[in-house]
Amino acid sequence: MSAQGPMVRMVDVRKAFGHAEVLQGVDLEVERGTVTCVLGPSGAGKSTLLRCINHLEKIDSGYLAVDGEPIGYRDKGDALHELSAREIAAQRARIGMVFQRFNLFAHKTAIENVVHAPRLVKRQSREDARTCARALLERVGLADKADSYPSQLSGGQQQRVAIARALAMAPKLMLFDEPTSALDPELVAEVLDVMRELARDGMTMFVVTHEIGFAREVGDQVVFMDDGLVVERGTPQEVLDAPRAERTKAFLASVL
């Protein structure tokens, strides 16, 4: 099924933590080469949904596939069987993820952070990994910071290193979990600029964000979530300029 159909497909995805049902039956598709921006209040289930896409959280029921392949499971007849930890890690290696916090190795330089996964997971040679890493650091505007440690970088620069690190695994899908929420306002633009460039290059992106302007400008699909449900989805013009649901209207009125 690879290279056919949507990049991400979710059918009645549910997830609970104890008695709290965080996802209450999510149906959603993300087409290849598009940017989906997910908006909603705190506690809506946005980050949980994103973490389910690469099996950092295991769904309780429903169906979730990336590139036509169930995430964390294998189809066997009429049932799904959970993959081994090694097989799940192989699936995750093809899905890049950028977190709110940069999660860089403090004792490694920028270029060492970027080469770490390709060397460890893909067994790239040191020379090939460093060549690729330098090209990626240049791509995110940090060619001159290759030998700097995270403590020597601003928050925006650290987040751009984190993006380069995710790209080093040549992912088919990039997940962003509020990538600018931990940044000072003046540093937000430099990270969003890199994300805009990725979108122009055709990267499939699933972005949980509170940046309404970015969603309006770059998003192909905007999804509004509340209380574990997709309340509304459509183009930026449909959801942001002419929302149908009262809950969407109230949320946008509170943030704009």
Give the model confidence (pLDDT) of 97-124 as tens digits. 999 888 899 999 999 999 999 999 989 9
Range with the poorest average pLDDT among 54-58, 70-74, 150-154, 241-245: 70-74
Q: How far apart are CA 211 and CA 232, in angstroms?
A: 17
* pLDDT the model gives residue 3: 58
pLDDT tens readout for residues 209-241: 999 999 999 999 999 999 999 999 999 999 999
Q: Is the pTM of this model over 0.85?
A: yes
pLDDT tens digits, 142-173 = 999 999 999 999 999 999 999 999 999 999 99
Say if residue 1's pLDDT is above 80.
no
pLDDT band, very low/low/confident/very high, at 76 (cuts 50, 70, 90): confident
| pLDDT, mean over the chain | 94
Q: Residue 51 has what pLDDT?
A: 96
